[in-house]
Structure 1
Amino acid sequence: MNINVSIEARMTSSRLPKKVLKPLGNSTVLEVMINRVLKCKLVNKIIVATTINKEDDGIINLCEKKNVEYFRGSENNVFQRVLQAHEKFETDIIVELTGDCPFIEPRLIDEAIEFYLNNDYDYVSNSIKSTFPVGMSIQVYSLKALQEVSKKELTSMDIEHVTPEFYTTKRFKTYNIEAPKNLYFPELSVTLDTKEDYEIITKIMNHFKNDYFTIEEMISYVRKNPKLLQINSSIKRKGLS
């Protein structure tokens, strides 16, 4: 069984262009994320799902440097890009991540995969309802399920966000993993959409001075330094409500 992670990443973000290759610690945002995902025990391949846009050549260079797979597809049709990437690499179970989550916790990824494998759900996520810090979003589902969705007439939300059909209709059995009490911190956002996000992410990275620290360590640091939350607390997040 091929359990593959896809990381959606491109350089032409509307709010913060070139964000995935911005410096972070001794590397870049995307490289920090890849380094963390490489710690997962249940993942076979990491596939960076980027675009055919020449501006994304730098992402390809990073993938080759890190020896991780990549796929180049449509810039605006993210659904098609993710689907084609996983079809190319013969994925059975998709673990979908986005490239603006550099501090994703590998243990949470493994736990989500394990829950999916041990239970009878079509779609498992920890972000249908937000209980973890923003920037820990994990989605697990099968390639067959995504292919089934592709047969319908896709909406603009499907094309941009890939998975709304799973959790906005009753066609599929879904499960939301909620944060345990010690990890419940939805007020903290470490996703990278804006310059304010970049500021808080950089401050956290500069404190730990390495690519890997646990989600518990990060939460503890921010709780002891609550002024950090004010940096990006006013940012309105794009996406589904």
Structure 2
Amino acid sequence: MNVKSKKIGIITQARMTSTRLPGKILKHVGGKTILEYHLDRLQWSNLPIYIATTTNATDDEVSNWALEHKIPCYRGSENDVLTRYYSCALENRLDVIVRVTSDCPLIDGKIIRQAVNQYITNNDSNEYLSNCLVRTFPRGFDFEIFSFELLEEAHQHATTPTQREHVTPYINQNVSGKVHIKHITRTSDNSQYRITLDTEDDFKLIRKLIEDFNCETMETQEIISLLMANPWLHEINSHIEQKKI
């Protein structure tokens, strides 16, 4: 596959039935939803964006929102998210997929664009490129890039519930033995910061960052610098543990 001539798109998974903070992606901050901030910042990448939600009635609201905002939306299984991703990519004829999750309202599309450019330059359909296996970015800036071929192979051969629910374990654990795993890292480790939305305290921090500091306009380094200069912000949700895969 010549990556340079292929169709690349971002698929963000979204659902309303979060166990720790139900309805979180449509919660409002500063007059906009978390999902709107997420999508606005993904648009910095200049890549097409697709929402992959579930067929549950609870996600009619997500589907209707996407329709209203003219964003392509695929609906599939709640638990077999791998099939949901595969079907979304297949329906939209994507050759390369950037995977993100919609609970990251301050994700940085410019960082994603830089990584995609690196992926294109490497021109390797067996490459998996991400910034979340070797973690130096704050949580909330996570992305993974991989080819449709790798996604299709995972869809056909992944068997465990974890592999099906979390989309990429079959790929990034190199079950097939042919994946070339590459990492996007920062020179400094800022993985202690958490700017993803999973709990009420996460929401308190995100609301502060947006309403008091206008972080929705800032790039990654500016947000990190703000957190370093104001340790009290980090303390708002520093006790939250990420759910284990």
TM-score, shorter chain, exceeding 0.5: yes
Which residue of the partner structure matches residue 219 of structure 1?
A: 224
The letter of the residue matching 2:53 is T
Which one of the candidate residues 198, 204, 210 is aligned to 1:205? 210
TM-score relative to the length of structure 2? 0.92
Query: Does residue 155 of structure 2 align to residue 150 of structure 1?
Result: yes
Superposition CA RMSD, Å: 1.4
Contact 1:104/1:135 (8 A) holds in 2: yes
Query: Does residue 68 of structure 2 align to residue 61 of structure 1?
Result: no
Q: Name the count of aligned residue pairs.
A: 236
Which residue of the partner structure matches residue 3 of structure 2?
A: none
Q: Percent identity?
A: 34
Q: How does 1:1-241 map to 2 (within 5 A)?
A: 1-41=6-46, 43=47, 45-119=48-122, 120=124, 122-169=127-174, 170-181=177-188, 184-209=189-214, 211-240=216-245
Runs of 4+ displaced beyond 4 Å:
none
The letter of the residue matching 1:227 is W
Pairwise CA distance, 1:26: 1.8
Contact 1:112/1:138 (8 A) holds in 2: no
Contact 1:25/1:210 (8 A) holds in 2: no
- Give the Cα separation in 1 of the matches to 2:109 and 2:187: 16
Contact 1:37/1:106 (8 A) holds in 2: yes
- Give the Cα separation in 2 of the matches to 1:239 and 1:114: 31
Pairwise CA distance, 1:217: 1.8
- Give the Cα separation in 2 of the matches to 1:210 and 1:136: 13
Contact 2:215/2:223 (8 A) holds in 1: no
TM-score relative to the length of structure 1? 0.93
Q: Structure 1 residues 61, 179: CA separation in 2 closer, same or farther (over 3 Å shift)?
A: same
The DSSP-based 3-state class of the residue aligned with 1:12 is coil
Contact 2:44/2:108 (8 A) holds in 1: no
The letter of the residue matching 1:187 is Q
Contact 1:109/1:138 (8 A) holds in 2: yes
Pairwise CA distance, 1:153: 4.2
The letter of the residue matching 2:180 is K
- Give the Cα separation in 1 of the matches to 2:115 and 2:159: 27
Pairwise CA distance, 1:4: 0.8
